[in-house]
Structure 1
Amino acid sequence: MGDVLSALYPWTKAIHIMAVISWMAGLFYLPRLFVHHVEQGPDVAGLGSVFAMMEEKLLKMIMNPAMITTWLFGLALVFTPGIVDWGLAWPWVKAGGVLAMSWFHFWLAGQRRLLLAGRATLSGRRYRLMNEVPTVLMVVIVVAVVLRF
């Protein structure tokens, strides 16, 4: 199995990077949609349902598949011989960052359900602040992987 993973390493890494980019795009955009949903959705008839449709499509058609692909190909990289040295700090930092990013993804999905049910309690300002979470996590993950400390 290790030989197959080693032979496929460049493809595995490329697909992993593309999936991460797609996932991150959604993690950056969905909270912005929430900002507009709570700030402008109630003011214009039918606009709330437009935001709800956009949020659903982003989450189900882009973010969920991208997150799953990121995880699958990331795990394939972990099991590729010679790629990860668990004696160093960086894989642990990256793993923690990815777990936190996944938690944020599911938090966003929960917020979407609250918005649909009319039970969202966060303001546009709060969603703007939460929009910074994936940026901070991305910086931590990229620095850990590139510097390999």
Structure 2
Amino acid sequence: MLWVKSLHIIFVTSWFAGLFYLPRLFVNHAMVVSNHSPDYAVSERLKLMERKLYRFMLPLALLALGFGLWLWLGYGISGAWMHAKLTLVAVLVVYHWYCGRLLTDFRLDQNKHSHTWYRWFNEIPVLVLAAVVILVVVKPF
């Protein structure tokens, strides 16, 4: 079980690195394209970075979810705290998917949000991570 738990933590941490960094790239991209004379070269560089990062994040997410599922079902981990954690994991999956939609908007030069909006959007995984860690460590219910 300790190997599975270790791999779960490694892949969750790696996935979160992407969930933290991709929206930060969106902040910078929104700032570039909102200028009256946007820098085309910088915008294209950010598109490339965003695409590569998002593509790398998918296997990390799948491995994190797979090892988490193994822990949950294979070792009978249960409790009300687990239901709350699984709800937050579902929120993260939707957040990851929505980042893909935002990436497509940038790729098509159809971004609809300001850099300030992305700064707030960037805080969602931080809040989810804090809640998940508290649920897993403290098991408040």
The TM-score bracket by the shorter chain reads: over 0.9
| Offset of residue 37 of structure 1 | 0.8
Which of 117, 120, 131 does residue 126 from structure 1 map onto? 117
Give CA deviations for 1:66-100 in whole Å, capped at 9, x if unaligned.
10001100000012234x12xx3210111001000
- Paired residues for 1:1-149 under 5 Å: 9-41=1-33, 43-61=38-56, 63-82=57-76, 84-85=77-78, 88-149=79-140
Runs of 4+ in 1 over 4 A off after TM superposition: none
| Offset of residue 120 of structure 1 | 1.1
For normalisation by structure 2, the TM-score amounts to 0.93
Query: 2 CA distance for matches of 1:75 and 1:91?
Result: 11
Query: 1 CA distance for matches of 2:29 and 2:69?
Result: 35
Unaligned runs of 5+ in 2: none
Structure 2 residue matching 1:121: 3-state secondary structure: coil
Q: Percent identity?
A: 32
Please tell me the root mean square deviation across aligned C-alpha atoms, in Å. 1.2
Query: 2 CA distance for matches of 1:96 and 1:113?
Result: 26
Query: 2 CA distance for matches of 1:25 and 1:89?
Result: 27
